[in-house]
Amino acid sequence: MANTMNNSTPPLLPDIDCVVIGVNTEATLERCLQSIKDCDYPREKLHLIYVDGGSSDSSVAISRAAAGVQVISLGDRHPTPGRGRNAGWRVGDSLLVQFLDSDTILEPDWLTKGVQALGEKEAGAVQGYRKEMHPDKSVFNWITSLEWNGQPGEADAFGGDVLVRREVLEETGGYDDVMVGGEDPELSQRVRDKGWRILQLDTVMTCHDIAMFRISQYWKRAFRSGYGFAAVIDKGAGRERRFWFIEFRRILVRGGGSLFFLAATLLLLLLGLFFSPFFYAPCLVCALVACVLLFWPRLLRVQHFKESMQLDEKQARIYAWHCSLVVIPDILGVIRYYLGKATGRHLRNNPKRLKTGTSGS
């Protein structure tokens, strides 16, 4: 096939390999694949590839029943997003690769806009906004919808949905096959190390349904985020560009600090109960420090959230509670990463516990 594209807007639209990954995706896969087929880009230039990481539901059957979809079934005992995406882009040969998660829906005009943006000099990857489908269905959906996207312009990193030059993937070697969190920003840093730019467009790229209704789902996502922060920071050690340093420091100071002073509070309380009332005064001090560290956003950042995120008073308070409490599972994820690094027992995915769902209409 003819795949030609220079560092200027191409006269002809190039072929695109659309790589969708997932595990136990029967609730969302069909609509994802159909959204690619229904987009405004010439159908003959799109090559659909679904990579299944080890589903036990009907995901593979659904993908094989969809006309024009190449199916790769990895059957992994411990699937990772990076392994799935690498398997997908490496079987294709199109000049561009669009990566998608199976719980997303591609916007009809995205690929045309993305291709035009990649015509800019040194642009190696481009993304648009990921829009949450049902932010009103749960507070967790709503919080996620606030945090998906950055400002338009040159970006520090891309997420799971992104349009990338194959040349960039070949130069960098693609995704890390082992990481269970942070694999997208980790690759982004290697892309930038090669001199490529990452662009964030002011347009919707995909619609997404996180379908998060339980505290356990929220906790798991935050724990994985903390694990991913630690992994990316660790792998980027020695870089002059300190990507995610501020976010990581926040987790260490507020999450780690609040846990430390909480533990000190409990220890001093026990010492006071069993030995001497002398320990009660430092116990109260430690409790106060733990509360200030943990609830700093709720205490002092509500007005900032109102103004910077254009929220009303109630929304700003809810978001401040999230920013206060999320550092606890975050720091536990960080601890889990470094314990795994020290013992050689890294966090691994269990395909039986991975599943996409829907929030409904």
Domain identity same for 44 and 186: yes
Q: What is the pLDDT of residues 234-261, one digit of tens each?
A: 998 878 778 999 999 999 999 999 999 9
- Asked, for residue 164, whether it belongs to a domain, the answer is yes
Q: Residue 3's pLDDT is what?
A: 47
Q: Give a yes or no: residue 124 inside a domain.
A: yes
Assess if residue 292 is contained within a domain.
Answer: yes
Q: What is the pLDDT of residue 11?
A: 54
Clarify whether residues 264 and 167 are in a common domain: no
Based on the domain organization, do 208 and 271 belong to the same domain? Answer: no
Q: Within this chain, do residues 30 and 103 fall inside the same structural domain, yes or no?
A: yes
303 and 165 within one domain? no
Query: Do residue 279 and residue 204 come from a single domain?
Result: no
Judge whether 85 lies within some domain: yes
**Domain end (from 190, 212, 234):** 212
Is residue 5 very low, low, confident or very high in pLDDT (cuts 50, 70, 90)? Answer: low
Q: How far apart are CA 113 and CA 128, in angstroms?
A: 9
Q: Please give the DSSP secondary-structure letter assigned to residue 134.
A: -
Expressed in angstroms, the distance from the first to the final Cα of the chain is 41
pLDDT at 8 over 50: no
Q: Do 146 and 289 belong together in one domain? A: no
> How much is the pLDDT for 361?
52
Do residue 99 and residue 164 come from a single domain? yes
Confidence of residue 162 (pLDDT cuts 50, 70, 90): very high
Considering the domain architecture, whether residues 87 and 195 belong to the same structural domain is answered as yes
Domain count, the chain: 2
Domain C-terminal end among 171, 189, 212: 212
Higher pLDDT, 122 or 219: 219
pLDDT of residue 269: 96
What lies within 8 Å, CB to CB, of 343 at 6+ separation is none
Q: Evaluate whether residue 234 is within a structural domain.
A: no
| Predicted pLDDT of residue 287 | 97
Per-residue pLDDT, 103: 95
> Which range marks the domain in which residue 97 is found?
17-212
249 and 204, same structural domain?
Answer: no
* CATH code for the domain of 95: 3.90.550.10
The pLDDT confidence band at residue 360, using thresholds 50, 70 and 90, is low
Predicted confidence (pLDDT) per residue in 287-314, tens digit = 999 999 999 999 999 999 999 999 999 9
Distance of alpha carbon 351 from the chain centroid: 18
Decide which of 191, 212, 233 is a domain's last residue. Answer: 212
- Kindly state the average pLDDT of the residues 272-301: 95
- SS3 per-residue string spanning 6-57: CCCCCCCCCCEEEEEEECCCCCCHHHHHHHHHCCCCCHHHEEEEEEECCCCC
pLDDT of residue 352: 85
User: Which of 123, 136, 98 has the alpha carbon at shortest distance from 7?
Assistant: 123
Q: What is the mean pLDDT of the chain?
A: 93
Residues 263 and 198 in one domain: no
Q: Give me the mean pLDDT over the 326-333 stretch.
A: 98
Which pTM was predicted? 0.91
CB-CB contact of 29 with 102 (8 Å): yes
Domain assignment of residue 289, yes or no: yes
> Does 116 reside within a domain?
yes
Within a domain: residue 217? no
Question: Residue 124: pLDDT band by 50, 70, 90 thresholds?
Answer: very high
Task: For 74-112, write each residue's pLDDT tens digit.
Answer: 988 899 999 999 999 999 999 999 999 999 999 999 999
Lowest-confidence pick of 116-125, 167-176, 253-262: 116-125
The pLDDT of residue 4 is 47
Is residue 60 predicted with pLDDT exceeding 60? yes
pLDDT attached to residue 239: 81
pLDDT tens per residue, range 19-52: 999 999 999 999 999 999 999 999 999 999 999 9
Residues 6+ apart with CB under 8 A from 69: 33, 48, 49, 50, 63
Q: Is 200 in the same domain as 252?
A: no
